[in-house]
Every structure is written in structure tokens, then in C-alpha cells.
Amino acid sequence: MMSPVSFSMFGLTHDLQKRGAGMRQALTRHVQELTSGQVAAPQRHLKGDLAPLAAMEHRTTRLQAETRTLAQAESRLSAVQASIGAIMDRQDALVQHLRQAVSAWSLPGTDQLAGQAGFGSLADMTQTLRQNIAGQHLFAGNRSDTPPLPSTETILDAAQDAVAGLVTAEDVTAALQQFFHHPMGGFDNLLYQGGDPLPGQADGAAPLPTAADTALRQQLMGATMAALLSAPTALADPVQRRALAALAIDSLDAGQVQSTALAARVGLDQGTLAVQQRRLQAESDALQQARATLIGADPFVAAAQLEDTRVQLELLYSVTARVSRLSFADYMR
């Protein structure tokens, strides 16, 4: 028959196991608070009043969505700005080439080389304006699923049709001016395939530029004028061809001035966007600080509690082991 001591030992062992379970739960809670930086049970910590915390969580979610939207807008503006810069650099190189060609026009083949440079510049510009990011064409406005311009060959063919039969550089320039800039000209009716400009992403920002922007049309026109120098059907008179090269320089110079203004406008919008991003970041930081004040766990306190609980649990394990051995020995008696 088991003695009364055995029953006492059994009860003590059960009590020690119960305390061990509580300590293990406390240990888990302290580890969680130490790693997460917040209390393990916010509802109990706030005595059931979760309204302030819920408001912070809701606003934080909204801020995250706004931040993602601004980041996407900033990426788009940066790509547009880089594209404008690339076009300006390419056209500046073309202007330098044309100036040298005009100075050495009497040398055989100079006009053809100038025309080839113009075609290369037009091709580079067309490719830049047709680029897309993640399937969205940057310069196509609200029809971003469609390239805003056709191929370089199509642009040049349409321009050749517009100047067919003209014999002076001034007439060719006037015809191309009509073609590229008049609302009823060939550019709008035959070439531009994009849509209306998208609204600016930043507060008070101007609409995003498209391939139909005046500055970009002017650059396209200048490059097209130069490219026509390699077309056998455009202006047979060498004097008029040289004059066309000089007028192409003027057109490109005008386009550079307009493109500089366009780049400045985009840069201004980038600055406005950066201000908005900083404001959202400041508000997000303030919310994080307020949240930490509300349900944050002091890492030093959590670490001290973790260590204290660990020591107590190890001691409890040691005592439980001794009690178990005593209980077994008493049972064997």
C-alpha cells in the first residue's frame, strides 16, 4: 500500500510541472517581446481600449499605399527625365556633325554622311520615345499599351511624301513645320499613336510629356530634316541641300531650347514629388514612434525578464528532477 508521502510527492510533482508550463509560456512571451519590440498581448496591455492602435494601423496602411504610388511616380519621372537627357545629348551630337558638314559641303559624299547621321539620330530618338517599362510606354499618354510612334522608316516615308516636289530648302522646312506642328498635319493624323497626356503625379504637377509634346516634335522635325539629306528624291540642287542642313541645325537648336524647358518642368515635378515623399516618411516615422510608445516593449526590461525566467526555469527543472527521484524511491519502499 502506497504511503501518504507518495500522494504528497505526486501532488508536488504535478504542481511543479504546472509551474514549469507557466514559465515556458512566460519565456516564449519574453522572447517574442524582445524580437518584435512590442508587448505580446496588446489588448491586455491597453486594458481593452484598442481604438488608438486601430487608428494608427489604418493610417499606416494608407501611408504605405501612398508611398508605393509616389515611388512608382518617381520611377516614371526619372525615366522620362533620363530619356529627355538622352535625346538632347544625341541631338547635340547631330548638330555638331551638321555644322562640320556645312563647312565642308563641297567634299564628295558629305551630304550623304550628314543624312546618315540624321537618320541615326532619328532612329535613336524614335527608339527612346517608344521605350516601355513593365509593358507601359512612357511617352504614349493614356494609351500606354501602344507605342506612341511607328518605325523610323515610316516617319521618314511620311515626311518624304509631305515634301515631294518641293525644290527649295525653305519650302521643305515650311512643309515639315506644317507636317509636325499643325493640328491637322501628318504627325497627328499619321504618326502619333498615343493618347492624351496623363495627369502629373505630384501635387500641382504638370501633365506628363508624351511623344506629341512640342519640344519633342521639334527635335523629331530637326532630325527628319537631316535624314532627308540621304534621300535621293529630296532637293537635287546641292546648294539647296546645304541650305536644308543649315536649317536643320536651326530646328534642332530650337528643339534643344524647348527640351531644356521640358526637362526643367519634369525636374520641378521631381522636386515636388520628393517633398511629398519626405512628408509621408516623416508622418510614418511619427506613427511608428507613437505606436512604440503605446505598445512597445522595453528591450532591456524584456531581456532582463527573459534571463530571470530562464534561471527560474532551470532551477525548477532541477527541483522537479529531485522530487521525481524521491517519489520513485518512496514508492519502491
What is the tens place of the pLDDT at every residue in 84-97? 999 999 999 999 99
Q: What 3-state DSSP class applies to 132?
A: strand
Does residue 173 carry a pLDDT above 60? yes
- Separation CA 231–CA 228 (nearest Å): 5
What pLDDT sits at residue 2? 46
Is residue 293 scored above 80 in pLDDT? no
Give CA separation, 125 vs 104, 143, 197, 224, 324, in Å: 26, 19, 19, 11, 86
Asked if the model's pLDDT at residue 171 lies above 60, the reply is yes
Distance of CA 121 to the CA centre of its chain: 28
Q: What pLDDT is stored for residue 284 in this prediction?
A: 86
Max CA-CA distance within the chain? Answer: 129
Q: What is the distance between the alpha carbons of residues 75 and 292, in angstroms, rounded to a whole number?
A: 32
Q: What is the pLDDT of residues 181-227, one digit of tens each?
A: 998 889 999 999 999 998 876 666 778 899 999 999 999 999 999 99
Tell whether the torsion through CA atoms of 64, 68, 73 and 79 is positive or negative.
Answer: positive
Query: Between 21 and 63, whose confidence is greater?
Result: 63
CATH number of this structure's domain 62-286: 1.20.1330
Least confident of 10-14, 286-290, 319-323: 10-14
Q: Is 100 or 333 the better-scoring residue by pLDDT? A: 100
Q: What is the pTM of this model?
A: 0.73
Task: Determine which of 124-133, 198-207, 276-285, 321-330 has the lowest per-residue pLDDT on average.
Answer: 321-330
